[in-house]
Amino acid sequence: MPGFLNKIPKYWIFQAAGWGMFIFINIFFAVTFERFNLSIIGRLTIFVGIGLLFSHFMREVIRRSNILQRSLNYQIIGFILVTVLFAIIVGVFDSFLTKVFQVRNTQEKGLSESEVIIANAFYAFVYFFMWNCIYFIYHYIDKSRKQQLDTLKLQALVKELELKTIKAHINPHFIFNALNSIRALIDENPSRARNAITELSNILRSSMQAENLETVTLGKELDIVRDYLALEHIRFENRLRVEYDIDEETLDQPVPPMMLQTLVENAIKHGISKNVQGGVVKIISDFKGTNHELIVRNTGKLNGEMRKEGFGLHSTANRLGLLYGQEATFEIHDTTENMVEARVTMPVHH
């Protein structure tokens, strides 16, 4: 039975329920006040039949005239005009049929034909007014719900496009830097250059696998970072020292693809490469309360300036905002006289 009801349009279910309730209420009061007879049944049958038929026609007029798609003021005017028009039509038809089938009640028999039409039109207006109120309210709520869903879908689409745009810029940005490193090795040490190309291919393979993802696990991101650092170590040799302090329980936590690699690349570009003696890059991952904290420290100085104007750090802040909103934070600052810290805080994913 429920499966059968699911196949019936909601409109007809509401129509049957509404006019069925109208019939029940009228019969109930007729029985209660001992006025139930064949004339009442005939009168009720005619009015409900006309009401059902013309309420359906009224709905078609509303749909075809696109009243519901217009401004609120236009909807209100259209609502009133349509209700008045069909109330008059129903009043005329009801008066004619009740006269033909001789089922008018006692009060109507004492009125002129025009008075009967006006009285029937008034009652029809009251019922059609309620019918239209329900119809308009239902569609207003349904339209608002659909607009909210469309807005959420649009926001999700914009977010996806923004993330893809950022990632589309990150990969060429990284490849350009990596190729510069490899080019410097070709004449000096061809064998090392070949190793560097292998490392680069590993990085590209990993990054391509994450291309269509909003997040990857920290473990996979660390694989990319280790390959990148191995590539950079060929260029910097003993000038680059790497330290890891990773809580293994954080390896399954989601992070934006290439975000950690971007922070490490920034640390080398603005820290290690500018220091003749090189320095250290330390990667820390740990839980802090209900957050996952990811830190990249490197030898160097900010000189009191926040380097967020660079594309890498700017993209990091943007992606965190898109993915986590106010729940994520990103900051970069000097920690000691010769150490810079980039700190990312994200909500823990359970």
| 107 is a domain residue | yes
* Residue 91 DSSP SS3: helix
> Binning pLDDT at 50, 70 and 90, where does residue 1 land?
very low
pTM: 0.52
199 vs 218: CA distance, rounded Å:
19
Q: Please indicate, yes or no, if residue 304 is contained in any of the structural domains.
A: yes
- The per-residue b/e assignment along 84-101, b for 16 or more CB within 10 angstroms, e otherwise, is eebbbbbbbbbbbbbeee
Q: Which of 80-84, 286-290, 302-306 has the lowest mean pLDDT?
A: 302-306
Whether the CB-CB separation of 322 and 315 falls below 8 Å is answered with no
> Are 130 and 204 members of one domain?
no
Q: What is the pLDDT of residue 81?
A: 94
Asked if residue 228 belongs to a domain, the reply is: yes
Answer yes or no: do 237 and 323 share one domain. yes
Q: Is the pLDDT of residue 306 over 50?
A: no
Please check whether residue 57 lies inside any domain of the structure.
Answer: yes
Q: Which residue has the tokens 């000189």?
A: 303
Residue written as token pair 């033909």: 100
Torsion of CA 330, 335, 339, 345, to 10 degrees: -20
Determine the average pLDDT of the residues in 218-234.
86
* CA-closest candidate to residue 173, choices 232, 230, 271, 258: 258
334: DSSP letter: E
Do residues 208 and 143 share a domain?
no
**Residues 77 and 127 both lie in one domain:** yes
Does 119 lie in the same domain as 16? yes
Question: How many structural domains is the chain composed of?
Answer: 2
Residues 325 and 215 grouped into a single domain = yes
Give the pLDDT mean for 120-141.
92
Task: Assign residue 279 the CATH number of its domain.
Answer: 3.30.565.10
Q: What is the mean pLDDT of residues 114-133?
A: 92
Is the pLDDT at 173 greater than 60? The verdict is no
pLDDT of residue 210: 54
Question: Is the same domain home to 335 and 268?
Answer: yes
Q: What is the 3-state secondary structure (H, E, C) of 268-336?
A: HHHHHCCCCCCEEEEEEEEEECCEEEEEEEEECCCCCCCCCCCHHHHHHHHHHHHHHHHHCEEEEEEEE
Is 176 a member of any domain? no
Domain boundary (125, 151, 177) is at 151
Q: Is residue 61 domain-shared with residue 196, that is, in the same domain?
A: no
> Does one domain contain both 250 and 314?
yes
Which range among 54-63, 303-312, 331-340 shows the weakest confidence by mean pLDDT?
Answer: 303-312
Residue type, 101: F
Q: How far apart are CA 44 and CA 49, in angstroms?
A: 8
Domain boundary among 151, 178, 210: 151
Write down which residue in 105, 136, 151 finishes a domain: 151
Look at residue 240 and tell me if it is in a domain: yes
Residues 310 and 219 in one domain: yes
Judgement on whether residues 218 and 128 belong to the same structural domain of the protein: no
pLDDT for the residue numbered 82 = 94
Q: Whose CA is closest to 92, among 111, 120, 70?
A: 120
On whether residue 201 sits in a domain, the answer given is yes
Of residues 257 and 83, more confidence is placed in 83
Cα–Cα dist 62/223, whole Å: 62
Residues 216 and 342 in one domain: yes
SS3 189: coil
Expressed in angstroms, the distance from the first to the final Cα of the chain is 42
| Domain residue limits at 258 | 189-347
- Tell me what the pLDDT averaged over the chain comes to: 83
Strand-pair partners of 294? 285, 344
Q: What is the dihedral of CA 177, 183, 184, 186, to 10 degrees?
A: 150
What 8-state DSSP symbol labels residue 272?
Answer: I
- Per-residue pLDDT tens digits for 8-49: 888 999 999 999 999 999 999 888 887 788 888 888 999 999
Q: Compute the C-alpha angle 91/95/101, nearest 5°.
A: 145
Helix %, strand %, coil % for the chain, to 5?
A: 70, 15, 15
Query: Residue 262's pLDDT band (boundaries 50, 70, 90)?
Result: confident
Q: Which residues pair with 247 in a beta bridge?
A: none
